[in-house]
Amino acid sequence: MGLTGGLTRRELVAAFLGAAVANASCRKERPRAQVPGALVDRAVETGHRLRPGSGTAPLPRAKEIQNVEVLIAGGGVAGLSAAWRLRGAGVKDLLLLELDEALGGTARSGKNAVSAFPWGAHYLPAPLQDRGPAAKLLHEMGAITGTRDDGTPEIAEQLLVCEPDERLFYRGAWYPGLYLRAGASADDLAQLHRFERRMVALSALRDGRGRKVFAVPLEEGSDDAEWTALDRISMAEWLEREGFTSPRLRWYVDYACRDDYGAPAERISAWAGLWYFCARRDGEKENAGFLTWPEGNGRLVRQLSSSLLPKQHRTNVLVHTLEPKDGGWLAHAWDAQKKAPLGFFARQVVFAGPRFVAGYVVAPWRTARPGFLDAFVYGPWAVANVTLNQLPLGRGYPICWDNVFYESRSLGYVVATHQREVATDVGPTVLTWYYPLDGADVRAERQRLLQADYNAWEALVMADLRAAHPGVDDLVTRIEVMRWGHAMIRPVPGFVWGGARTKAQASIGGSLHFAHSDLGGLALFEEANWHGVRAAEQVLAALGRSVSSWLG
């Protein structure tokens, strides 16, 4: 059967998911009708109009200009966090513009007759300390209910991931946890124990100023050269240097890097790799666990956006030019739904999109492109929401919230209905399947992502599920696929502490400020939230409003 690039189904599956999945899936496949579904990333075409040489006519500019005190360009977590902070300070004359049809960016969510589900980020680790903007947001939601004996915030029990929480599929059976203990040698287990004790020790370290070496957000951690030097080597090099050679441990660390950063350990900074294991604990003190909802971090998006009045935000609007004028900024935009130009003049602007987009939008940067923009590298992802008429069967450990395939290049899936009160529920469900395109050449990976049509993604999702779940072909009723071309910043070696992030955070003219998770170097909710609040407080200072900081 011909699919993308003339590949057969087996060749396609092997190219994307690996030979093991292709062999297992195609052996079990029988003639079947294609599962109905669609690609749902409708904003891709509009967003690409920013690119030079896109082949489309220049967007027209509006003749009428609307005045607004504060304009926020971008409605992901960073932009919504900036709006949340500004509204908290009593700012009323603000407008947030978002390119996509819904707010939230890669934290947005969807819903069907079965369940709500995430389109990207699907959990939030409980904070270690009851301070900072993320903790404040959780208080507003009623998610933090008190303080534990060890001083960490107490989280509402119903929001923590229900057990069983994680499992791993390997050679025909499911096993508990995300480290493959079944069949592990004595040396494998000894290396795992040594690695875990090393992470506990590193997580407890403080620098000479008393700062935690690895902290959330990272701006609160240490910037001492002793530790930032780890950013210059890869996580794979660090493992080699420290004598961690176990293939099972290497797989586990690779999975962690691919899961949080979208690339394997060989392409991720050692500092970022260690941050993953150390930042959310403090020695023997661990955080309360993971908060999740059926819609994932879409629940946090809903809380942030609830601060905005309907007239204070618009979707389906592409901001394509920001140019300085008369002590403020003139913003030219395009209403993708009405096919009409829009114009705004704002005294203060927060640009809450990624740096590569800023390079196209900020007019002064078009003619004098800052060198730091080239340091920002973004990895593409595909996310599929798969609706089934009942939970799939599998051999071994029972279905969990997070379900990972050891021999697949996907990251497996999470179960949107896992938090139901009845753990044995066997009714309809939605599985959210994640696939990072993690090759070194991100442009080639983006091309691969976008060239694969619905037929290809349907074949890949079904092949991955079929290898682990007998009879799954009879259960799946619909598949919807979201392609994220620039899903998340990659903390490649040399990026986090190489200076580009700091330069990219600098405001222009005291009136254009920047916010996004890429400024933190890690594509995480806490980083986007923190930088959104930081940018909003720069706006408040420029407007002469004296307020207490929410940054902690």
Residues 383 and 485 occupy one common structural domain: yes
**What pLDDT score was predicted for residue 420?**
76
Residue 26 pLDDT grade (very low, low, confident, very high; cuts 50, 70, 90): confident
Based on the fold, state whether residues 388 and 519 are members of the same structural domain: no
Residue 122 resides in a domain:
no
pLDDT digits (tens, 9 = 90+) for 291-334: 999 999 999 999 999 999 999 999 999 999 999 999 999 999 99
Cβ atoms 519, 119 nearer than 8 A: no
The residue from 258, 288, 318 where one domain ends is: 288
Q: Which residues contact 435 (CB under 8 A, 6 or more apart)?
A: 16, 381, 382, 383, 384, 409, 410, 411, 460
Same domain, 350 and 385: no
Q: Given this model, what pLDDT does residue 56 score?
A: 62
Nearest 10 degrees: Cα torsion 255, 260, 262, 264: -40
Residue 132 domain flag: no
Distance CA 161, CA 288 (A): 10
Q: pLDDT band at 49, cuts 50/70/90?
A: low
Confidence of residue 32 (pLDDT cuts 50, 70, 90): confident
248 located within any domain: yes
Domain shared by 484 and 496, yes or no? no
Q: Which residues of 105-124 are buried (b: 16+ CB within 10 A; e: fewer)?
A: bbbbbbeeebbbbbbbbbbb
**Cβ neighbours around 531 below 10 Å, total:** 30
Report if residue 154 sits inside a domain: no
Residue 501 to residue 375: CA distance in whole angstroms? 9
How many distinct structural domains can be found in the chain? 3
Whole domain around residue 436: which residue ranges? 4-45+378-489
Residue 315, in any domain of the structure:
yes
On whether both 391 and 472 belong to a single domain, the answer is yes
Tokens of 504: 């990219």
**What residue type is 404 in one-letter code?**
V
pLDDT (tens digit, 9 = 90+) per residue, 220-235?
999 999 999 999 999 9
Average the pLDDT over each of 4-13, 34-43, 396-405 and give the range with the smallest value.
Answer: 4-13
Q: Residue 92 is part of a domain; what is its CATH number?
A: 3.50.50.60
Single pTM value for the model: 0.96
User: pLDDT at residue 143 above 90?
Assistant: yes
SS3 sequence of 70-82: EEEECCEHHHHHH
- Within this chain, do residues 383 and 459 fall inside the same structural domain, yes or no? yes
Average confidence (pLDDT) over 505-516: 98
Reported as a pLDDT band with limits 50, 70 and 90, residue 25 is: confident
**Do 21 and 407 contact (CB within 8 A), yes or no?**
yes
Same domain, 87 and 213: no
Quickly state the pLDDT bin for 33 (edges 50, 70, 90): confident
What local confidence, expressed as pLDDT, does residue 7 receive? 85
pLDDT, position 388: 98
Q: Do the domain assignments include residue 163?
A: no
In a domain, 500, yes or no: yes
Number of C-beta neighbours around residue 318 at 10 A:
22
Beta strands in 309-357 (DSSP E): 313-314, 317-325, 328-335, 340-351
User: Which one of 288, 322, 348 terminates a domain?
Assistant: 288
Is there a domain that residue 383 lies in? yes
